[in-house]
C-alpha cells in the first residue's frame, strides 16, 4: 500500500526549522550545565518528597504543543518552567536527605558520560553500527567484574562468558530466565513453544525476592499473573530473612517427583526489604545434591540478583556476600543504584553466553553484515530484549576513570560507616529497636511495640518525617520466617510487622545529614507517642 499524495502539486515544501549551530549549542549547553550545578547546590534545602497533588504539574502546562518553535529565544521560558513547575514536582533522589528505597546515584562524571553519549547519538545494536560502543562496553564490564572480585568465568576473555549493560535489574532477571528456559528445553529435548515441555518448567526464589522475579515469570509464560504460583516457588527465609537452602532442595525434589523440571533459581544478594543475603554457595550445593548425576548444563540456571548490594563488592571486606557466585550462571548489579552512575545502568554477566544468545538472537536480512558473519565480534542486540541500545558504557567508564577504585571504595565505605553509626544510635534509644540484621548501608528499625497498633505508630512516624520534607524514608513489612528458624528469635516476633528503612546511599549524604536525620526522627517519635 502506498501513502496517498496529500501535497497539492504546486504547494512549496514546509520550511525546515534552522539547524542548531555549534555556537548555539555551546551557549545553551553551558546554560543547562549551570542550571544543573545550581540545582545540585540547592538540593539540601529542597523538600525531599514532592508535595504536588496529582495532576498539578500537568495543569500548569499548555495542553497542546506549540505550532511554531521558539528556538533559542524560548529558553528563558524553558528554564523558568523548569524552576517553577518541574522542580517542585520532583522527589529529589540526589538530595543528601534521601533515605528511601535504595539510592539512585548520580555523579558529575556519570552525567558528563550521559551527555557525551547523547551528543554522539550512536545506536550500538551491532558491533558494526559503532565498534567503539560495543568494545568499550565489553572492556568496562570486564573492569567492573575485576573491581568487584567476580570469577574469571564471567569475563569476556573466558571461553563462554561475558558482560553486558542492561537497563535494569528487572531486565537482567528476565534475560536470565529466558536463557534458563532455553537451556532447560534443550536439555529435556523441547523447544520454546513446545507446550508440553514448557509447562513443566519451574522457577524458584525466596519470599523476599524482588517482584521483578514474578514479573519475569509472567512475561516468560511461567505465570498468568502475580498470584499464579503453579510454576513459581517462593521459598521461606531463615531468621535472617535469607533463603533457606534446605527448603529449596526439598522443593526441587518435590517438583521432580511430580514430573516438573526445575529451570531457574534466583538468589537475592541484598534483598529489597532488608538487604539480607541468600546463601549462594549453599543454594548451589542444594542444586548439586539434587542433580548429582546430571551434567552442569542440564541443571537449573542459578541467577544472582545483587541489584543494590553488588556495588559493595568494590570493597574486598564486603566480598563475603558473593561467596559461591563462581557456581552461578549469571549475576547482575546496578551501578545506577550505589555506584555513582546515573540511571540507567545494570551490569549483567553470564558464564553461558550461548544460552543467552540462543534465547535472544534472530537475524533479519537487513541486519546481516560481514563483521557479524566473521564471528569475531559481539553484537549486543543478541544479549538483551530490545534491538537498539544506547552508549551507556561511556558513563560507567568515566565514573571508573574519575573516581578510580579507591574513590569507589571510599564512597561505599562512607555509607556503611554512617549506617553503622545510625544503627548504634537506634540501639541506644529504648523506644526503638533494630528490626533486621544490618548487612551494609540499610538499617531496618522501628518503634517498639506489639500488634497493629505499633504498625500504625511507625507509619505515623514515617508519614510525619516525609511530610516535613526534611528527609524521606520508606517502609517494609517483615515476612513470617520459616518454622525451622530458632524459636524465640526476634524474627518470629517481628513477622508481619511494619518496619522503617533507613537506606544511606545518596552521593551527597554526609555524616552530618545522618546525624540531623536521627535528631529529627527522635523528636518526631516523641510526638507520635
Ligand atoms: C534486589 C532487587 N532486585 C531488583 C530490583 C529492581 O531494580 P530495577 O529497577 O533495576 O529493575 C530491585 C530494586 O530495588 C532490588 O532491590
What pLDDT digit, counting tens, does each position of 83-134 carry? 999 999 999 999 999 999 999 989 999 999 999 999 999 999 999 999 999 9
- Indicate which atom in ligand 1 lies nearest the CA of residue 334: 10
Q: Is the CB of 507 under 6 A from ligand 1?
A: no
Using a CB cutoff of 8 Å and minimum separation of 24, what contacts does 428-435 make? 429/522, 431/525, 432/525, 433/490, 435/478, 435/490, 435/494, 435/497, 435/499
Q: Is the Cβ atom of 278 under 6 angstroms away from ligand 1?
A: no
Instruction: Return the CATH number at 353.
Output: 3.40.640.10
pTM: 0.95
Query: Does one domain contain both 305 and 205?
Result: yes
Residue 106 within any structural domain of the chain: no
pLDDT interval class at 461 (50, 70, 90): very high
One domain, residues 392 and 435 = no
Q: Which residues pair with 308 in a beta bridge?
A: none
Question: How many other β-carbons are positioned within 10 Å of the β-carbon of residue 193?
Answer: 9
Is the separation of the CB atoms in 103 and 93 below 8 Å? yes
Question: Do 285 and 183 have their domain in common?
Answer: yes
Residues forming beta bridges with residue 368, ordered by sequence position: none
Residues 337, 200 share a domain: yes
Radius of gyration (Cα) for the chain, nearest Å? 25
- 153 & 201 share domain: yes
Confidence of residue 479 (pLDDT cuts 50, 70, 90): confident
Look at 196 and 57; give whichever has higher pLDDT.
Answer: 57
Mean pLDDT of 313-335: 98
For residue 193, pLDDT over 70 is answered with: no
pLDDT score of 155: 98
Q: Cβ(210) to ligand 1 under 6 A?
A: yes
Q: Give the pLDDT of residue 195.
A: 65
Both 324 and 350 in one domain: the answer is yes
In the structure grid, which three cell numbers stand for residue 313, read together? 563488592
Is residue 344 in contact with ligand 1, taking CB distance under 6 Å? Answer: no
Residue at 122 is within a domain:
yes
Cβ neighbours of residue 179 closer than 8 Å, sequence gap 6 or more: 301, 329, 330, 350, 352, 355, 356, 358, 359
pLDDT in tens, 256-298: 999 999 999 999 999 999 999 999 999 999 999 999 887 777 8
220 and 279 assigned to the same domain: yes
pLDDT score at 6: 56
- Ligand 1 center from residue 169 Cα (angstroms): 5
pLDDT reported for residue 428: 97
Q: What confidence score (pLDDT) does residue 216 get?
A: 97
pLDDT confidence of residue 369: 94
3-state secondary structure of 486: coil
The whole-chain average pLDDT of the chain stands at 93
Q: Are residues 378 and 441 in the same domain?
A: no
Structure confidence at residue 191 as a pLDDT band (50, 70, 90)? low
Q: Give the pLDDT band of residue 492 (cuts 50, 70, 90).
A: confident
Measure 210 CA to ligand 1 centroid, in angstroms: 6
Domain end, chosen from 363, 398, 433, is at 398
Q: In what order do the strands lie in the sheet with 201-206?
A: 162-166, 346-350, 330-333, 301-305, 261-268, 201-206, 232-235
Same domain, 120 and 136: yes
Same domain flag for 155 and 194: yes
Q: Identify whether 31 is part of a domain.
A: yes
Interval between CA 505 and ligand 1 midpoint (Å): 15
Q: Within this chain, do residues 79 and 131 fall inside the same structural domain, yes or no?
A: no
Integer Cα distance of 223 and 205 in angstroms: 14
Of 366, 398, 430, which residue constitutes the final position of a domain?
Answer: 398
User: Which ligand 1 atom minimizes the distance to the CA of 308?
Assistant: 16
Ligand 1 proximity of 236 Cβ (cutoff 6 Å): no
Of ligand 1's listed atoms, the one at least distance from the Cα of 209 is 1
What is the domain-level CATH number for residue 483?
3.90.1150.10
Any atom of ligand 1 within 6 Å of the Cβ of 303: no
Confidence of residue 13 (pLDDT cuts 50, 70, 90): low
Residue 3 resides in a domain: no
pLDDT at 41: 96
* Bridge partners (DSSP) listed for residue 262: 202
Per-residue model confidence as pLDDT tens digits over 147-185: 999 999 999 999 999 999 999 999 999 999 999 999 999
Give me the number of domains the chain comprises. Answer: 3
Same domain, residue pair 336 and 265: yes
Rounded to the nearest whole angstrom, what is the distance from the C-alpha of residue 439 to the centroid of ligand 1?
17
The neighbouring-strand residues paired with 234 are 205
7 pLDDT more than 60: no
DSSP string, 256-325: HHTT-EEEEEEEEBS-TTT--B--HHHHHHHHHHHTTTS-GGGSPEEEEE-TTGGGGGGSGGGGGGGTTG
SS3 232: strand
Amino acid at each position: 500500500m502506498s501513502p496517498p499524495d496529500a501535497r497539492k502539486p504546486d504547494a512549496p515544501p514546509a520550511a525546515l526549522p534552522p539547524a542548531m549551530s555549534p555556537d548555539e549549542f555551546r551557549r545553551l549547553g553551558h546554560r543547562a550545565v549551570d542550571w544543573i550545578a545550581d540545582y545540585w547546590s540547592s538540593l539540601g534545602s529542597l523538600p525531599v518528597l514532592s508535595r504536588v497533588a496529582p495532576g498539578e504539574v500537568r495543569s500548569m502546562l499548555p495542553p497542546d504543543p506549540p505550532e511554531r518553535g521558539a528556538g533559542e529565544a524560548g529558553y528563558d521560558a524553558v528554564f523558568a518552567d523548569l524552576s517553577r513547575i518541574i522542580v517542585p514536582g520532583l522527589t529529589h533522589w540526589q538530595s543528601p536527605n534521601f533515605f528511601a528505597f535504595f539510592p539512585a546515584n548520580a555523579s558529575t562524571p556519570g552525567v558528563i558520560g550521559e551527555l557525551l553519549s547523547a551528543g554522539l547519538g550512536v545506536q550500538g545494536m551491532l558491533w558494526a553500527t559503532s565498534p567503539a560502543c560495543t568494545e568499550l562496553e565489553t572492556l568496562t564490564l570486564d573492569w567492573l567484574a575485576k573491581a568487584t572480585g567476580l570469577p574469571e568465568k564471567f569475563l569476556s576473555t573466558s571461553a563462554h562468558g561475558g558482560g553486558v549493560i542492561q537497563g535494569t535489574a528487572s531486565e537482567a532477571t528476565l534475560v536470565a530466565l529466558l536463557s534458563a528456559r532455553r537451556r532447560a528445553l534443550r536439555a529435556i529435548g523441547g523447544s520454546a513453544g513446545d507446550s508440553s515441555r514448557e509447562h513443566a518448567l519451574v522457577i524458584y526464589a525466596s519470599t523476599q525476592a524482588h517482584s521483578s522475579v514474578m514479573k519475569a515469570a509472567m512475561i516468560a509464560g511461567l505465570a498468568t499473573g502475580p498470584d499464579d504460583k503453579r510454576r513459581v516457588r517462593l521459598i521461606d527465609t531463615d531468621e535472617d530473612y535469607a533463603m533457606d537452602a534446605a527448603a529449596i532442595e526439598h522443593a526441587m525434589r518435590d517438583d521432580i517427583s511430580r514430573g516438573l523440571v526445575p529451570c531457574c533459581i534466583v538468589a537475592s544478594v541484598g534483598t529489597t526489604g532488608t538487604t539480607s543475603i541468600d546463601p549462594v554457595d549453599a543454594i548451589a550445593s542444594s542444586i548439586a545434591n539434587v542433580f548429582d548425576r546430571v551434567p552442569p548444563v542440564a541443571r537449573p540456571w542459578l541467577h544472582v540478583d545483587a541489584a543494590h548490594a553488588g556495588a559493595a563488592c568494590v570493597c574486598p571486606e564486603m566480598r563475603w556476600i558473593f561467596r559461591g557466585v563462581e557456581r552461578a550462571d549469571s549475576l547482575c548489579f546496578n551501578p545506577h543504584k550505589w555506584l555513582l552512575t546515573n540511571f540507567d545502568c545494570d551490569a549483567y554477566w553470564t558464564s553461558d553466553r550461548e544460552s543467552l544468545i540462543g534465547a535472544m538472537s534472530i537475524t533479519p536480512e537487513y541486519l546481516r553484515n560481514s563483521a557479524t558473519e566473521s564471528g569475531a565480534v559481539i553484537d549486543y542486540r543478541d544479549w538483551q530484549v530490545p534491538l537498539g541500545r544506547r552508549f551507556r558504557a561511556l558513563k560507567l567508564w568515566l565514573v571508573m576513570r574519575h573516581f578510580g577504585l579507591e574513590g569507589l571504595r571510599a564512597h561505599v565505605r562512607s555509607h556503611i560507616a554512617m549506617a553503622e553509626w545510625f544503627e548504634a544510635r537506634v540501639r541506644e534509644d529504648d523506644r526503638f529497636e533494630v528490626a533486621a540484621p544490618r548487612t551494609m548501608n540499610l538499617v531496618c528499625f522501628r518503634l517498639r511495640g506489639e500488634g497493629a497498633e505499633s504498625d500504625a505508630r511507625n507509619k505515623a512516624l514515617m508519614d510525619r518525617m516525609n511530610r516535613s520534607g526534611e528527609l524521606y524514608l520508606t517502609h517494609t513489612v517483615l515476612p513470617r520466617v520459616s518454622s525451622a528458624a530458632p524459636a524465640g528469635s526476634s524474627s518470629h516476633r517481628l513477622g508481619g510487622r511494619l518496619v522503617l528503612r533507613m537506606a544511606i546511599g545518596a552521593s551527597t549524604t554526609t555524616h552530618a545529614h545522618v546525624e540531623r536525620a536521627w535528631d529529627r526522627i527522635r523528636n518526631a517519635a516523641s510526638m507520635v507517642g
